[in-house]
Structure 1
Amino acid sequence: MRAQARNGAQEEEEESAFVSMTDMTVGFLFIIMILLAFFASQVRTTDTVPRSQFDQMVDDRNHWRALAEERELLIDQLEREKSNLSKQLDETERKLRKAEQEIDANKKLIANLERQLAELNQEIKNKDDLIAKLRIEIAELKAKITQLDQIDPLEAYLAQVARTRQGILIRLRDAIKTDFPDLQVELSEESDALRFQGEGLFATGQSVLTRQKQAIVSRLATRLDEILPCYTVGQRSAFSTQCNPEFVLIESVQIEGHTDNVGSDATNRNLSTARANQTFFTMTRSAPEIMEHRNFKTQPVLSVAAYGPDRPVATNDTAEGRATNRRIDLRFIMVTPQDTDGIRRIRQALSELAVDAE
């Protein structure tokens, strides 16, 4: 029983101790809660804001958030525009480089064109100088023409007679040279005679024509007979203004014999005469109608003259000069009127021949 009483007392003591500890724990927790409440009240007084301010802060936060989002969108758009502008810049720089290259090329082209322009300006200046010079020459020529217009008609006619005679001689010379290319025949210095030089027709000291030389003289007669009708009167005259526009007449065609000074004077004169006569007879036998060509006095134009050594055209001190002096000249003597009335008579006579021929 004691044991049970002792156990009951022990249990009561233990239970009493448990209750005391529980009370202490509750008390401790209550104290802690009080402290927490105190500290909470202290924290709340420092970390809380009024509701209106909080709402304003929320509105501001939302505003700045929306603004930030807009700025981000704007930044994206600006980034894209920047990228596009960067591409445009690159393209512009490429075009700029190309334009600069074109500018350089154009500068070179401009420089070249400026050089060409300078050359053309110089050429124009040269042309202007030439034009100015030509104008001066034209003025001088006009003055000369005016002067020539004032020349005596007789002088003008005689000058034309000389030119016509030269033309006849050139025509006859060229025809003979065509027939006999190796023949030595030239115009005289005065352009009034054909000159058969050296051994052209006769051998040294001889007055007889060889067969070959006779052929030359015969051909000469034929060629001369072709020319004379336009410049002579008579039945065989064939005057026309086409062949003789200046109305020129031949007075005489002289077959002249000449020698060098070797030998006696009598021998040389006889030799020159014999040579001239031999040439004359050979020509008239080959073309007998040649004697029908008449001058203004109705005389035969073909005639003979002999001068021996009297009229040398080169020195007789050398073999070459003597060969030149041994020659036959076919000299054309033209009708040269003394005044303008003589010119009128010649024109009238030739004009009548032309009318009769029609």
Structure 2
Amino acid sequence: MTYHEAASESPPEGSSDSHADGENYFISMTDMMVGMLFIFIILLMSFALLFRQQTDVQVRKTHVQSKKIEVAESVGRELDQTELRIRKRLDEIREASELRLRLLHEVRNQLSREGLTVEISPSGDVLRLTEAAVLFPVNHFALLGDAKKNVEKIARVLSRVLPAYSMCPRSRVQFACRNSDQASVETVFIEGHTDETGNDDQNWSLSAQRAASTYRELIAVAPELRRIVNRRDEEILSISGYSSTRPVDPSRSAAAWGKNRRIDLRFVMDTDPTSGLEDVRALLQKMRAAIQELKGRPE
């Protein structure tokens, strides 16, 4: 073998090492790409899992929020219904007050035509029989002279006016009266009063006796008054005594004492404002329960 042949058969210097280095570089790059892809897959799976968890939490939150909205809407509907009921009750109370005022004005006007002067209280619920109408002697409860005649006038006027403002009577006698769904008179209290002189214990019985004397005279003159009833089918006339606890003139004089020895007719209408309050209380209880339910639901 000649020199040239030997030289041609020998590999070039460094060719074997360069090929190995190329292969090693390619393998390293592949491993790194595979590793990066693996890391990317892990990150992608982690993100997918986190997204799934967040979605589940959001779904649960949406469900809870929907329940809360449902409860709030239910309470809102209850509020609207209660407001309507309360508004209706207020209208009924206002109607009853206006009806009572018309009644008192009608009685006063008719008594005025009879030559009798009476007063309507500032509150619009009491017809005050002044000393000019019914005056009692000191320490006496009997109706005497003009006082008796004036009570007779009052009886006749009440028998004419009251039926139109009251429920239909129990008797078969037909005359104008209120329907069951209308405001009407519930009670007419004949209230007896004394002045502040004398013994307080005696004044209590004396005031009640004055009211009783007036009641007896009223029904003696107009017995049909006992047939006028309220919604519960009870007689509307009643009596009460207040001693000297409700003076119309607080000054301590003989003139004031004469004014305070009197009879008042207090007209109470058949309307119950507590029913509206019961609606409010029931609604508050429902709202309290709803709030507790909302607090008990986790976010």
Provide TM-score, normalisation by structure 1.
0.49
1:252 counterpart SS class? strand
Identify the residue that residue 134 of structure 2 maps to in structure 1: 201
Identify the residue that residue 247 of structure 1 maps to in structure 2: 182
Q: What are the Cα deviations for residues 166-211 of structure 1, in whole angstroms up to 9, with x where unaligned?
A: 110010011111102xx44100121101101235312331321123
Instruction: In structure 2, give the amino acid aligned to 1:191.
Output: G
Q: State which of 288, 300, 304 in structure 1 corresponds to 2:223.
A: 288
- Name the Cα RMSD after superposition: 2.7
What displacement does 1:335 show?
0.8
Correspondence 1:210-289 to 2 at 5 A: 210-230=144-164, 231-236=166-171, 238-239=175-176, 247-289=182-224
How many angstroms apart in 1 are the aligned matches of 2:112 and 2:244? 27
Instruction: In structure 2, give the amino acid aligned to 1:227.
Output: V
Q: What are the Cα deviations for residues 253-311 of structure 1, in whole angstroms up to 9, with x where unaligned?
A: 11100111111102222221221111111111111111011111111001111111112
What displacement does 1:322 show?
2.5
Is there any run of 5+ residues in structure 2 with no aligned partner, and where? 1-83, 277-299
How many angstroms apart in 1 are the aligned matches of 2:223 and 2:107? 19
How many angstroms apart in 2 are the aligned matches of 1:199 and 1:229? 27
Instruction: In structure 2, give the amino acid aligned to 1:282.
Output: E
Residue 136 of structure 2 contacts residue 261 of structure 2 at CA under 8 Å; is this kept in 1? no
Residue 202 of structure 1 contacts residue 208 of structure 1 at CA under 8 Å; is this kept in 2? no
What displacement does 1:240 show?
5.7
Aligned residue-pair number: 190
How many angstroms apart in 2 are the aligned matches of 1:214 and 1:177? 17
1:195 counterpart SS class? strand
Provide TM-score, normalisation by structure 2.
0.57
What displacement does 1:222 show?
1.3
Q: Mean Cα displacement is larger for which, 309-318 or 244-253? A: 244-253
Structure with the larger helix share? 1
Q: Percent identity?
A: 29
Q: State which of 330, 343, 357 in structure 1 corresponds to 2:265.
A: 330
How many angstroms apart in 2 are the aligned matches of 1:298 and 1:246? 15
Instruction: In structure 1, give the amino acid aligned to 2:102.
Output: G
Identify the residue that residue 311 of structure 1 maps to in structure 2: 246
How many angstroms apart in 2 are the aligned matches of 1:150 and 1:276? 39
Rg comparison, structure with higher value:
1
Residue 316 of structure 1 contacts residue 325 of structure 1 at CA under 8 Å; is this kept in 2? no
